[in-house]
Amino acid sequence: MNALSLLMRSINGMNRLIGNVFAWLSVGIVLVCFWVVIERYFFANTRLWMQDLYPWLNGVMFTAVAAYALFHNDHVRVDIFYRPASDLKKAWMDMVGVLLFLLPFTFVVWKYCFVFVARSWRLHEGSANPGGAPGLFLVKGFILVFAVTIALQGIAMLIRSILIIRGRKDLVPENYRYEAFTE
């Protein structure tokens, strides 16, 4: 059980680090978008690569921080059943949800996107716009990062569920217990 707790803490720590780092891209997105507008309306200039950049940064940010949001329990769920449930019932619901929905979903994303992403990397794909930004292949690579980090966070949720079902709530960090997520 201690090894499971260590694995869960490691996954949570990795996703917290990734989330905290990539959340700062939101500042970059705002700055790039702001500068594109300033250049267009005040200097009558357009840089196509900058117009590509801010939606790409947005895509990278949201795919990179998805597991961080899952760690913080910020994803949409049917709270009509989940919120009033006891910790034990929440653990069972999470276990079923992870095994039946989350992990199969991440497998499907990986399986069907791998060829798409690999092709993009092989071609060093850039923007489809003439004069657009190079490096679209890097952005597409984050689809696989998304699948892996979400799957790992799902495993951490599964471990939390197992520990709570087995009566080892003491091995679950306080910031990852169900009561830490209530409003």
* Ranges of each domain in the chain: 2-181
Distance CA 46, CA 39 (A): 6
Reported pTM: 0.87
Distance CA 18, CA 146 (A): 11
Name the band, by pLDDT with cuts 50, 70 and 90, for residue 117. very high
DSSP state, residue 102: I
Distance CA 128, CA 161 (A): 45
pLDDT of residue 183: 52
**Host H or E run for residue 183:** none
Please give the backbone phi and psi of residue 140, each rounded to the nearest 5 degrees, phi first: -65, -30
Query: What are the tens digits of pLDDT across the range 130-157?
Result: 888 899 999 999 999 999 999 999 999 9
Length of the chain: 183
pLDDT of residue 48: 84
Percentage above 90 pLDDT, the chain: 64
pLDDT of residue 175: 79
pLDDT of residue 166: 93
Please give the backbone phi and psi of residue 97, each rounded to the nearest 5 degrees, phi first: -60, -45
Residue 173 has pLDDT above 60, yes or no: yes
User: What are the tokens at 51?
Assistant: 């117009």
Check residues 71 and 130 and name the one with the higher pLDDT.
71
Residue 159 has pLDDT above 90, yes or no: yes
Name the band, by pLDDT with cuts 50, 70 and 90, for residue 125. very high
- Of the ranges 51-55, 123-127, 148-152, which one carries the lowest mean pLDDT score? 51-55
